[in-house]
Amino acid sequence: MKKILSGLLAAVLCLSLAACGGKEETPFDPAADAKTLLDSGAFTDGLEEIDRDIACTLYGIDETTVSDCAVYGSTGATAEELAIFTFSNHDDAGTALTALQNRVADRKEALASYQPDEVTKLEGAVTQARGNSVLLVIAADYTPVETFLKG
């Protein structure tokens, strides 16, 4: 009886683990998701599109690893930014996520002395990986960003 119960328990555990591990998040879609976020009201400043080569240099990302991207930066003197990159594999996305997190840390340090009000935006910055894609949002209002991420 114990062996049957143990076997059943093991089978149930295996099935539950397989169910949890089998689903992968849908990667971000740079063009569509950028449009959604730009139209969401999260940003108080106008954001201007940044070319791929400049964006990769700005974030320290190897351009040869980028499949697609949508990157926008502040047209004024704010810290607001939006960047979505897709890559051919998860490893490159992981490397890029670290680069985006480093960008946020560097901006915090740079703006602390002359634009302390912008540091608050940076403290709420969202960096996230989904599959082979990454997202960076530095916004004035993170409520629409949270709604977008919950999808």
pLDDT at 75: 87
Could you give the 3-state DSSP secondary structure of residue 132? Answer: coil
In the three-class reduction of DSSP (H, G, I as helix; E, B as strand; rest coil), residue 37 is classed as helix
> What does pLDDT average to over the chain?
87
Q: Is the pLDDT of residue 61 over 60?
A: yes
Q: In a 3-state reduction of DSSP, which class is residue 69?
A: strand
> What pTM was estimated for this model as a whole?
0.83
Average pLDDT over residues 137-149: 97
Q: Which pLDDT score, from 0 to 100, does residue 5 have?
A: 34
d(CA 85, CA 98): 13
Q: What percent of the chain has pLDDT over 70?
A: 84
Bigger pLDDT: 42 or 45? Answer: 42
Output the pLDDT for position 99. Answer: 97
Helix (H) or strand (E) holding 137: strand 133-138
Q: Is the pLDDT of residue 22 over 50?
A: no
Label residue 23 by pLDDT band (50, 70, 90). low
With 0-12 / 13-18 / 19 or more C-beta atoms within 10 angstroms meaning exposed / middle / buried, residue 52 is middle
* pLDDT score of 21 more than 50: no
For residue 76, what pLDDT is reported? 80
